[in-house]
C-alpha cells in the first residue's frame, strides 16, 4: 500500500486537489485538504527515522509499515509485510518499570486503544546474531461505518537505548551488582506481595535465612577480591539448587535469603536446607587456591510462624541464630521457644570475654580406646564453659562466638598449654589430642605457640596430637605447607577430623602429612541401616588409611551392633559413649591409679537413632472427644503414650503435639494406661535433633474454627477442644493426675 493510500485510510477523507493555503501574515501552511503536501510532510517524518507508521488488516496481519521500520528491525520490508503482527513483536514480560504486560495477542484481540506499549522485536528465524530491539507503539482500532473492524492503524518509535538504560537502572535498583541476585529492596517487595496475595487464599510461603560460616576468614586470608569471587560462586550454587522454585536474594555482606511460595512441607524444606548446606560447603576454586566455608539455615513458614513480612523475617532470623548457635553447618525451623535465643547469645558474648580470666573454662577428656584389648591409648580434649548462672555451655555454642570476637587464638593457646600439662600426669603411652580451629592454624606463629606449650609442660612432642578439619586449607597454599612442615619437624602428630564429610579430602591426604584419620560420627549413626552405604564408606576409609600407613579412629560408637560392625570392618581405635563420655582430670586420675586405664564397653545392644525419651503433655483426639495424656517416647514412626485406659489395639487416634501439629495414628499396643501408636505419616527432623510433623494446621483454619488470626504461640496453636456431638460419651477413661 502506498503512503497516500494509508493516509486516506487514516483520515477517511476522499482525495482532494493539491493546493496550498496562506495565512493573513503571508505564511504558507498545510491544511487538511492539502493532501499532496500532507503526504510529502509525512514522508519527511518517516524519512527521519524518529517515527514510523504501521497498519494491520482485520486478521491482524501487517499490511503497511514505513520503510524505516524494517531497517530498524534488522529485516527487509518484504520479510515483515503480510506476517501476523504478533509474530513480529511481543509485549515485554517484565519491563523496566517492573510491570509485567499482558500478552500482545490479548491486547490486540480486545480491539481497544493501545498507548505507549513497549514491545520487543522478534528476530527473524535462524538470525542468531540479532541484537535485541524494543519499540514503543501507539494504535487505534479502525471501524467502518457499520462498526465492522478493519484493523489497527498506529505509529511506533525505537526506544531501544532508553529502554536498555531503564533496564540497567532497574537492575541497579532491584538486583545486587556483585552477584546478580535480588537485593534486599526487591526481596522485601516480593515477600510482601506473596504474603498479601496468599493471605486471602490461605496459602503458605517459606522463608529461608542463611549466612556463610568462616567467610570472614576468607576475606582476611585471601583478600576482598577473593571474597567477592566467593560470593559470586555461592550465588551461582544457590540458583542451581533453587531453580524456578523460588527467589534467591543477597541482603548484603554474606547474608542471603530465599523465598519459596506454596511450600510448607517441613520434610521437603529440611531436605532442601541440607542440600544447600552440603553444596555451599564444597570447596571453591579461587585464583588457583581453594576456599572452604559453610552455611547455616533458618526456616520460617507463613502463616504458621508469622503472617506479615516483619514477623516472618524475624522468625527466620531467630531460627538462623539457633542453627549457628547449635554448631553451624545445620538448619533449624522456627519455634516459639527460640524467641530469647538472640538475647541469650548477646549475653554470652559479653560473658565470654571474662570467662577465661575468671577460670570458667575447663578441659574434659574423652578416651580413645584400642578395640582389641580395651586399653586407653589417648584422650581428646574437649573445651567446656561452666557459666556461673547458666551452667555448662557446649563448645558448639561458644567456639563460633569466640571466632567472631577474635578470642579463638587466646582460647586455643590456653587449651594447648592446659592439655599438655594435664597429659604429663598420664602414662607415657597415652597421647592427648587438641582441636585446632582454622583461624588459629592460619596465624603465622602457630608452630611457635605449639613449641611453647610443649616446652612449658615438658611433654614430648609425639604425645601431642593436633586435630584439624578441611577448613584449615583456606588461604595461601605455600603458607599452609610451611606450617605443616614446621609442625612435623617439631614431632607432633596430625589428625584429619570429620573425614569423609568434605568434598576433596583425598587431595588433602596427598599434600598434608597426616598421621591419623577420624571417621565422622554421621557414618557410624547409620552404619547398621541396610539401606545406607555408611558401612561400606567406613570400610573404605579404614582400608585407605591402612594403605597410607595412617591410624584410624572411629568416632561416635554408642551401641554393640555398631561396635561389632566397625570392628569387623577393621577399626582398631574407637571413641564413643560405648566406652565413656568425656571425663574430668580428677575422674581420669581416680580410674587410672598408677597403671594403664582399661575400660570395658558398655551400652545398648542396638542403636536406635530415632527413638527419643520425652516427657511432655499432648492431646489425644478420638471421634468427638479430646483427652489429655503424656508422651513418654517418640520416634519418626510412632510414640509411647500414657494416660488413657481401655484403648483397644487398632483404634485410630489423632495426636495433637502442639503448634498446629496433628498426627494421625493407630494403636498397635495397649497395656493398662500405656499405649503404643504407629504414625500414618512419619515425622521428620526439625534440624535440632528433634522431630516434627511435615505439615501443620494453618492458623487460617483455626480462625475459621473461631480462634483469632495471629501468629499463634504453641499453646494457642493447639486445636480447639472438640465439642460433644449428639451427647455421646467418651470412649476411654482419662487417667486423672497425669502431669508432664
Q: Could you report the per-residue pLDDT of 120-167, keeping only the tens digit for each?
A: 888 887 776 778 888 889 999 999 999 999 999 998 888 888 888 877
Rounded to whole angstroms, the Cα distance separating 656 from 633 reads 15
Residue environment code for 126-139, b if the CB has 16+ CB neighbours within 10 A, otherwise e? eeeeeeebbbbbeb
Helix (H, G, I), strand (E, B) or coil at 674: strand
Q: In terms of Cα–Cα distance, which of 493, 416, 403 is closest to 448?
A: 416
Locate the domains of the chain by residue range.
49-166, 176-339, 351-592, 612-734
Q: What is the mean pLDDT of residues 317-342?
A: 80
pLDDT > 60? residue 221: yes
| pLDDT at site 7 | 43
Chain position carrying cell 506476517: 83
115-119, 381-385, 403-407, 623-627: segment of lowest average pLDDT: 403-407
159-163, 440-444, 479-483, 611-615: segment of lowest average pLDDT: 611-615
CATH 3.20.20.70 fits 351-592, yes or no: no
pLDDT > 80? residue 700: no
What does R_g of the chain's alpha carbons equal in angstroms?
36
Asked whether 636 and 683 are in contact (CB, 8 A), the reply is yes
The 3-state secondary structure of 204-231, one letter per residue: CEEEEEEEEECHHHHHHHHCHHHHHHHH
Burial tier of 76 (Cβ tally within 10 Å: 0-12, 13-18, 19+): exposed
Q: Tell me which of 260 and 476 has the higher pLDDT.
A: 260
Helix (H, G, I), strand (E, B) or coil at 429: coil
CATH for 176-339 is: 3.30.70.270
Q: What is the mean pLDDT of residues 629-656?
A: 90
pLDDT > 50? residue 277: yes
**DSSP state, 307?**
S
DSSP run (H or E) holding 367: strand 361-370
| pLDDT at site 13 | 36
Dump pLDDT digits (tens) for 331-371.
Answer: 999 987 775 556 666 777 778 878 877 888 899 999 999 99
Rounded to whole angstroms, the Cα distance separating 43 from 36 reads 10
| pLDDT at site 623 | 83
204-208, 679-683, 698-702: segment of lowest average pLDDT: 698-702
Q: What is the mean pLDDT of residues 431-448?
A: 91
Q: Tell me which of 513 and 299 has the higher pLDDT.
A: 299
Q: What is the mean pLDDT of residues 286-301?
A: 89
Q: Tell me which of 139 and 1 has the higher pLDDT.
A: 139
Chain position carrying cell 504558507: 28
| pLDDT at site 613 | 66
CATH for 49-166 is: 3.30.450.20
Task: Quote the mean pLDDT of the chain.
Answer: 83
Q: What is the mean pLDDT of residues 619-647?
A: 88
Q: Which of the residue ranges 340-344, 367-371, 547-551, 557-561 has the most confident prediction, judged by mean pLDDT?
A: 367-371
Contacts of 358 (CB under 8 A, 6+ apart): none
Q: What is the mean pLDDT of residues 252-267?
A: 94
| pLDDT at site 134 | 86
Rounded to whole angstroms, the Cα distance separating 550 from 534 reads 21
Looking at 597-637, which runs of residues are DSSP E strands? 612-622, 625-634
Rounded to whole angstroms, the Cα distance separating 663 from 655 reads 5
Q: Tell me which of 371 and 505 has the higher pLDDT.
A: 371
Asked whether 199 and 308 are in contact (CB, 8 A), the reply is no
| pLDDT at site 609 | 62
| pLDDT at site 723 | 45
Q: Give the confidence band of 9 by pLDDT, cuts at 50, 70, 90.
A: very low
Q: What is the mean pLDDT of residues 274-297?
A: 88
Rounded to whole angstroms, the Cα distance separating 418 from 457 reads 9
Rounded to whole angstroms, the Cα distance separating 703 from 599 reads 59
Burial tier of 613 (Cβ tally within 10 Å: 0-12, 13-18, 19+): exposed
Q: What is the mean pLDDT of residues 578-607?
A: 87
| pLDDT at site 12 | 42
| pLDDT at site 458 | 95
Q: Give the confidence band of 719 by pLDDT, cuts at 50, 70, 90.
A: very low
Fold adopted by 612-734:
Thrombin, subunit H (2.40.10)
Strands 375-387 and 431-435, how do they pair? Answer: parallel
| pLDDT at site 728 | 65
| pLDDT at site 725 | 44
Q: What is the mean pLDDT of residues 561-582?
A: 94
Record the pTM.
0.61
Amino acid at each position: 500500500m502506498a503512503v497516500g493510500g494509508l493516509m486516506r485510510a487514516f483520515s477517511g477523507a476522499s482525495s482532494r486537489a493539491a493546493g496550498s493555503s496562506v495565512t493573513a501574515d503571508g505564511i504558507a501552511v498545510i491544511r487538511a485538504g492539502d493532501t499532496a503536501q500532507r503526504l510529502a510532510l509525512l514522508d519527511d517524518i518517516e524519512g527521519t527515522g524518529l517515527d514510523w507508521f504501521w497498519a494491520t488488516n482485520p486478521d491482524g496481519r501487517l499490511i503497511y509499515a514505513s520503510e524505516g521500520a524494517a531497517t530498524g528491525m534488522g529485516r527487509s520490508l518484504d520479510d515483515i509485510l503480510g506476517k501476523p503482527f504478533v509474530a513480529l513483536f511481543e509485549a515485554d514480560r517484565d519491563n523496566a518499570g517492573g510491570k509485567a504486560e499482558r500478552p500482545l495477542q490479548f491486547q490486540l484481540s480486545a480491539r481497544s486503544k493501545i498507548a505507549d506499549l513497549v514491545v520487543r522485536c522478534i528476530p527473524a528465524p535462524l538470525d542468531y546474531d540479532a541484537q535485541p530491539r524494543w519499540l514503543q507503539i501507539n494504535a487505534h482500532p479502525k471501524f467502518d461505518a457499520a462498526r465492522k473492524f478493519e484493523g489497527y492503524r498506529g505509529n511506533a518509535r525505537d526506544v531501544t537505548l532508553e529502554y536498555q538504560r531503564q533496564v540497567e537502572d532497574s537492575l541497579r535498583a532491584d538486583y545486587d551488582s556483585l552477584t546478580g541476585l535480588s537485593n534486599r529492596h526487591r526481596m522485601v517487595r516480593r515477600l510482601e506481595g506473596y504474603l498479601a496475595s496468599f493471605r486471602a487464599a490461605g496459602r503458605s510461603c517459606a522463608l529461608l535465612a542463611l549466612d556463610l560460616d568462616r567467610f570472614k576468614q576468607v576475606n582476611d586470608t585471601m583478600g576482598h577480591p577473593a571474597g567477592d569471587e566467593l560470593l559470586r560462586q555461592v550465588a551461582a550454587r544457590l540458583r542451581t539448587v533453587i531453580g524456578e522454585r523460588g527467589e534467591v536474594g543477597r541482603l548484603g555482606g554474606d547474608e542471603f535469603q530465599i523465598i519459596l511460595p506454596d511450600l510448607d512441607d517441613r520434610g521437603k524444606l529440611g531436605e532442601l536446607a541440607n542440600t544447600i548446606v552440603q553444596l555451599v560447603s564444597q570447596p571453591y576454586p579461587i585464583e588457583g587456591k581453594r576456599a572452604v566455608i559453610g552455611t547455616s539455615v533458618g526456616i520460617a513458614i507463613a502463616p504458621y510462624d508469622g503472617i506479615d513480612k516483619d514477623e516472618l523475617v524475624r522468625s527466620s532470623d531467630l531460627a538462623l541464630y539457633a542453627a549457628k548457635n547449635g554448631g553451624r553447618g545445620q538448619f533449624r525451623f522456627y519455634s516459639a521457644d527460640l524467641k530469647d535465643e538472640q538475647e541469650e547469645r548477646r549475653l554470652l558474648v559479653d560473658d565470654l570475654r571474662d570467662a577465661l580470666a575468671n577460670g570458667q573454662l575447663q578441659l574434659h577428656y574423652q578416651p580413645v580406646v584400642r578395640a582389641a584389648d580395651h586399653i586407653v591409648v589417648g584422650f581428646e580434649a574437649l573445651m567446656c564453659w561452666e557459666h556461673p548462672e547458666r551452667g555448662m555451655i557446649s563448645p558448639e555454642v561458644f567456639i563460633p562466638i569466640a571466632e567472631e570476637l577474635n578470642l579463638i587464638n587466646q582460647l586455643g593457646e590456653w587449651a594447648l598449654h592446659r592439655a599438655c600439662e594435664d597429659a604429663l600426669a598420664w602414662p607415657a603411652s597415652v597421647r592427648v589430642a587438641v582441636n585446632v580451629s582454622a583461624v588459629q592454624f592460619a596465624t603465622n606463629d602457630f608452630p611457635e605457640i605449639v613449641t611453647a606449650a610443649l616446652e612449658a609442660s615438658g611433654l614430648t612432642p609425639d604425645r601431642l596430637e593436633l586435630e584439624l578439619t578441611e577448613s584449615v586449607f583456606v588461604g595461601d597454599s605455600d603458607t599452609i605447607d610451611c606450617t605443616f612442615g614446621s609442625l612435623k619437624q617439631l614431632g607432633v602428630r596430625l589428625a584429619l577430623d570429620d573425614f569423609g564429610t568434605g568434598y576433596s579430602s583425598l587431595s588433602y591426604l596427598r599434600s598434608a602429612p597426616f598421621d591419623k584419620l577420624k571417621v565422622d560420627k554421621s557414618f557410624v549413626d547409620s552404619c547398621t541401616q541396610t539401606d545406607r552405604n555408611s558401612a561400606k564408606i567406613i570400610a573404605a576409609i579404614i582400608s585407605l588409611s591402612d594403605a597410607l600407613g595412617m591410624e584410624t579412629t572411629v568416632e561416635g560408637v554408642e551401641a554393640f551392633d555398631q561396635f561389632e560392625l566397625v570392628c569387623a570392618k577393621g577399626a582398631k581405635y574407637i571413641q564413643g559413649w560405648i566406652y565413656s563420655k568425656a571425663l574430668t582430670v580428677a575422674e581420669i586420675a581416680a580410674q587410672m591409679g598408677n597403671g594403664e586405664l582399661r575400660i570395658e564397653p558398655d551400652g545398648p545392644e542396638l542403636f536406635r537413632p530415632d527413638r527419643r525419651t520425652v516427657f511432655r503433655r499432648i492431646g489425644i483426639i478420638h471421634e468427638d472427644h479430646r483427652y489429655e495424656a503424656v508422651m513418654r517416647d517418640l520416634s519418626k514412626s510412632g510414640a509411647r503414650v500414657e494416660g488413657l485406659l481401655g484403648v483397644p489395639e487398632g483404634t485410630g487416634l489423632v495426636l495433637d503435639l502442639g503448634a498446629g501439629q496433628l498426627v494421625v495414628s493407630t494403636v498397635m499396643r495397649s497395656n493398662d494406661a500405656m499405649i503404643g501408636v504407629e504414625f500414618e505419616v512419619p515425622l521428620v527432623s526439625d534440624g535440632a535433633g528433634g522431630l516434627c510433623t511435615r505439615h501443620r494446621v494453618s492458623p487460617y483454619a483455626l480462625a475459621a474454627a473461631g480462634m483469632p488470626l495471629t501468629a499463634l504461640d504453641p499453646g494457642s496453636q493447639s486445636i480447639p477442644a472438640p465439642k460433644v456431638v449428639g451427647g455421646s460419651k467418651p470412649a476411654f477413661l482419662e487417667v486423672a493426675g497425669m502431669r508432664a
